[in-house]
A and B are shown apart, each in its own frame.
Chain A
Amino acid sequence: MDEMNGLERVATALQFKEGDRVPAAPLVCGASHRVAGVTYGEWSSGEDVQAMVRGHLDALKLLGHDGVVALVDLSVEAADFGQEVFFPEMNTAYPNYDNPYIKTIADYKKIQRLNPRKSKRMKSVIDMIAGIAKEVGKTHAIVGFVYGSLGVMSMMRGPEQFFMDLIENPDAVLPALQAMDETLFDYAMAQAEAGAHGVCYDHLYCSQSILSKEMWEKFEGPSIKRLCDGIRDKGALVVLHNCGNGIYFDKSYQWAKPHAISHAYVSDDVDSWEEHKAKWGDKIATIGWIPPGPVAMLGTPEEIEEECKAEIEIFAKGGGFILSTGCEYPPNAPLLNARLIVEAGKKYGVYKK
């Protein structure tokens, strides 16, 4: 019998304390459209906020996880800044890279601060959070989601050209990032005000997979600090997400001081999960790290249970761990595999008093 509700369980874990058991919150985001009675495209377009809320609430009932992450997809912010986005019926929305909003260096000047509360898709996310908070805000953890400015800008320029611009045209990129950062700051604050207990900022490029530490700091360090300080000032928790390889935990800690990072791989300064727990386990809580493709999607029930058990054995002690997928729960994976993750948390994650 559970002694805590999901919100209490998650809050306890993020304070590096042991609750009744390890919280389980696979990142069931886009997958929730499947219980909302709408197509993926309809769900993510933001046209029907009630359906988005219903999807999450019904997914909570079906799967029993402890918290909701309000990620719709990574194109939300870019779309509101003017990027053309496709909404396939059965696939994640994505930008039309044949028609980038920023076609030339001069186009960076087109990026101006927006009011997210008066935008289309960002507003739908704010409203979705408010709708979920109204229903389950006292019993489940609700975490908002903001895609970082480097990521959003890369969607509007095309990643390849954008990365080259960081070296060749930094003076054009930086003012555009600043305008975007101001918008994302307002967006994060609006999510917290709508009832999110925490806000997750995706700093994907803060990893060995993409940028050097120095370059990441130059373009995203100061802005992530301001945004995360703002989230804390609102009384909400700071969460980061990064599914890149070799995440810069030291730089994340220096600039963002996050309560937790949702991640799929270990920090760049360690070689194993055991080392990661020893080095970072009492400073930054881990949300992860079940591999979405090979385990959550393709794994047998036995493999899923085995993976969860192994992760709990390494990470549960002392709290600071939420059992989850290392990246979004695959929108096309069997939904009941997410329930297996939750059940494995209940089976193996109980803290002995």
Chain B
Amino acid sequence: MATKEKEQELIKRLQDAVINYKIADAKKVAEEAIAVGADAYTVTMEGLAGGMEVVSEKFDSHEYFVPETLLCAKALYAALDVLKPHIKLQAGGSRGQVVLGVMQGDVHDLGKNIIKAIFEASGWTVHDLGRDVPLQRFVEEQLKTDSDIVMLSAMMTTSMVGIKKLIPMIKEKNPKVKIMIGGAPITEKTVEEYGADTTADNAPNALKEAMKMLETLRKGRAA
């Protein structure tokens, strides 16, 4: 069992490794955290998620761009791979579950991968279906995992049109599930026209939108 001081030191070093995209350092600190008996959940949430929160702020303020953010995510995963097997889920389990994927006929998965990293770092369970995903796969995965949110990405108008077809397919099986759509051709108008619940123009905003939707869902379940 690590002391509180040691745990705080490890958290700070993990944050620094993620923010400064020091991939080897991130892995090393994670291994040290396990070796000294630090709580894996705490160091993941405060170290990795805390670090990624700073990365999101830097991305929002145009201090970081796509290459820097990808490397931060790489550092995050280097540590998360070590910590994950040691995480005992806290009461209530993960924050929420999402099914995530790029629409059929579309291979642009950069934005989707950044979203995945930020969501995982924030304690969400992400069921990543990858790119060029057949419509039916989204429906099946949502049912199988009972995920709260389905997130659909399209970077081209030719793949965007699949969303219009897919949303009724998902809602027919589970009317309560929330749907977020994103990508270059997507606007508020597309959200309205296709019957989605929301959109976001970048990963940090996607996380904020997801948190709002999750809160609505949980209030609905409690009522």
Residues of A bordering B, CB below 8 Å? 88, 90-92, 94-95, 97, 159-160, 163-164, 166-168, 208-212, 215, 243, 246, 291-294, 297-298, 327, 330-333
A210 to B62 alpha-carbon distance, docked (Å): 10
Task: Tell me which residues across on chain A come within 8 A of B193, comparing CB atoms.
Answer: 298
B71 on the A face (CB < 8 A): yes
A293 to B158, CA, bound (A): 10
Cβ-defined contact, A167 with B105, below 8 A: no
A-B contact count (CB 8 A): 76
B67: Cβ under 8 A from any A Cβ:
yes
Chain A residues contacting B21 (CB-CB under 8 Å) are 167
Q: B156 contacts the other chain (Cβ, under 8 Å)?
A: yes
Q: Looking across the interface, which residue of chain A has its beta carbon closest to that of B69?
A: A163
Partner of A208, one of B62, B187, B190: B62
Measured CB to CB, the closest approach of chain B to A301, in angstroms, equals 16
**Is B62 in contact with A97, judged by CB distance below 8 angstroms?**
no
Q: Provide 20 A-B residue pairs closer than 8 Å at the C-beta atoms, listed in order of the A residue.
A: A97-B109, A97-B131, A159-B110, A160-B70, A163-B67, A163-B70, A166-B67, A167-B67, A210-B65, A211-B65, A211-B66, A291-B187, A293-B157, A293-B190, A297-B185, A298-B193, A330-B185, A332-B157, A332-B158, A333-B157
- The distance from the CB of B55 to the nearest CB of chain A, in whole angstroms, is 14
B149 at the interface (CB under 8 A from A): no
**Is A88 touching B62 in the complex (CB atoms < 8 A)?**
no
Nearest to A161 among chain B residues (CB) is: B70
- Taking the closest CB of chain B, its distance from the CB of A297, in whole angstroms, is 5
Interchain CB contact under 8 A, B158 and A212? no
Complex: A293 Cα to B71 Cα, angstroms: 31
Interface size class of B (residues with CB under 8 A): 20 to 34
List of A residues within 8 angstroms of B190 by Cβ: 293-294, 298
B189 touches A294 (CB 8 A): yes
CB interface residues, B 110-137, toward A, < 8 Å: 110, 113, 131
Q: Please tell me if the beta carbons of B107 and A292 are within 8 angstroms of each other in the complex.
A: no
Contacting residues, chain A, for B65 (C-beta < 8 A): 208, 210-212, 215
Bound-state CA distance A297–B189 (Å) is 12
Q: Is the CB of B105 within 8 A of A91?
A: yes
Query: 10 nearest interchain CB pairs?
Result: A293-B185, A330-B157, A163-B67, A294-B189, A294-B187, A91-B105, A210-B66, A91-B158, A212-B65, A293-B157
Alpha-carbon distance A88/B132, docked complex (angstroms): 12
Is the beta-carbon distance between B107 and A97 smaller than 8 angstroms? yes
- B156-179 near A? 1/0 per residue, CB < 8 Å: 111111000000000000000000
Which of B67, B71, B110, B113 sits near A211, CB closer than 8 Å?
Answer: B67
A120–B87 Cα distance when bound, in Å, is: 54
List chain B residues, Cβ under 8 A from A297. Answer: 157, 185
